[in-house]
A and B are shown apart, each in its own frame.
Chain A
Amino acid sequence: MKFSRRSLITLVVLGVIAASLYYFFSTRGVTYIWHWEKIPEMLFYHGSKSPEDPTPRLHMGILMIGFMLTLKISIFSIFFAIIIGTIVGIARLSDEPVTRALSISYVELIRNTPLLVQIYIIYFFVGSLLRLSAFTAGTAALSIFAGAYVGEIVRAGIQSIHRGQMEAARSLGMSYAKAMRYVILPQAFKRIIPPLAGQFISLIKDSSLVSVIALADLMFQGQQAVARTYYAFEIYFTVAFLYLVMTASLSMATQYIERRLAISD
């Protein structure tokens, strides 16, 4: 199996890096006392959360809470990025010059400014005008950002489908919209799965930037934990690993979908 070999290699490489860092510190006379034993409780702990609820239960630790928020914001953003990207991609190929121009302006504006700046603008400016929560603002910023890239990918996907497909669909009496929905887009999406996967992996990683608007995502919670305990190495390695879990799962899922869709090739 291709994907498991790939993730195995990734893990091995990470292990080698960790081992060499350890070696580096232990041989340079830098004494660093590792506190890996503190990490599990940052993921899950058994105990009572508050005096009001004294029965001990299994709770998510600080990093796991952050992981869940990053997962949630990533899923929402991927969903909206696909919708925005599909609309933008189709608009980019419209016969209407105004629609086309709007689409191009959106893509260029978003692609050519830093995501961090966009997050600040959406949270502090748009967000305070429309009273958006940090989560909504963060999701909006990420969706708008990724949507611009997805739009270009979708456009390329549509353009890669042979002209004869649209002609055949139209000659059967399908409207442009129906031909797009039933004939062109399904083929285009199949073809653009690899670049889309890359884009969404970027999105998951870029979501760490929403920690700047005090969203308690994985990055934010990691920083909090470091501030509290000073176990910077252990915590950031764990944070990196948790991001890797999300991105590698997405990678595997898309490869699975690709194989499933390959039956008509």
Chain B
Amino acid sequence: MIRAVKVCKTFKTTDRREVKALVNFSTHIKKGEVVVIIGPSGSGKSTFLRCLNRLEEIDSGEIIIDGVRITDKKVDINKIREDIGMVFQLFNLFPHKTVLENVTLAQMIVRKRKKKEAVDTARDLLHKVGILEKENVYPSQLSGGQQQRVAIARALAMHPKIMMFDEATSALDPEMIGEVLDVMKKLAREGMTMVVVTHEMGFAREVSDRVIFMDAGQIVEEGTAEHFFTNPAHERTKVFLSQIL
């Protein structure tokens, strides 16, 4: 489903230093697989996600999604993005649109669905994430957890083949993390291909097929969540886990 081959990405900071975010990063994610990426901040986990839908352009290497080499300049990236849902740390709901409009907008103007069809799809998904009763309010009137669930519904409304979560629970108050993780777990059990950047090891243990530990733009160690809990091999992994667990 997703194949990254020797991906390199370097950022220039404002003081002209170069930061290597991804260094010869290669991995393969199968259809229906739930992959959790962990690692210290600045290790390149978010950058990897953002390269998958080309919110960031890579410097070298290639990324192939569903048989399409998306890193080719000729590829219509908007078409690719329709199939890759993304959930952000800060939700990024459209504040000038109601909850329902947030979920129907892209369906209508990108997928070209009729309004009725878009609204039906939106209501189904809002029901699924447990927030249908708020369909007519604006995002500013919702709690963080509610906003994030709407953001998940918004991404799902495009019927994506892949869902990416970029620290989706990091900006939430502790009591709201559970409601968002529950939605993500439900999604994982339904067989969605998911790439999840998170520090929630409980989530990893419950639904992930594989955990990747990244540091300095590279994969340090990967395996099942159980492997990370019981016998992480690398010293850096142990140090990191001892900090987050």
Contact = CB atoms under 8 A, between A and B. Distances in A.
A49 interface: no
A167 B88 contact: yes
Interface of B: 53, 55, 78-79, 81-82, 84-86, 88, 90, 92-98, 105-106, 109-111, 138-140, 151, 154-155, 158
Contact of B55 (A167, A174, A178): A167
Query: B95, B97, B140 — which one has the most chain A CB atoms within 10 A of its CB?
Result: B95
Contacts, number: 71
A175 B78 contact: yes
B88 A173 contact: no
The DSSP consensus for interface residues of chain A is helix
A264 B88 contact: no
Contact of B92 (A167, A186, A263): A167
Interface in A14-30: none
Given A167-B55, A263-B138, A264-B138, A172 B92 contact: no
A172 B55 contact: no
A168 B79 contact: no
Contacts of B105: 172, 182-183
B59 to A, nearest CB: 18
Contact of A171 (B86, B95, B111): B86
A173 B96 contact: no
B109 A178 contact: yes
10 contacts: A164-B88, A165-B92, A167-B92, A168-B151, A169-B94, A171-B84, A172-B154, A173-B111, A264-B97, A265-B138
B86 A187 contact: no
A172 B155 contact: yes
B122 to A, nearest CB: 13
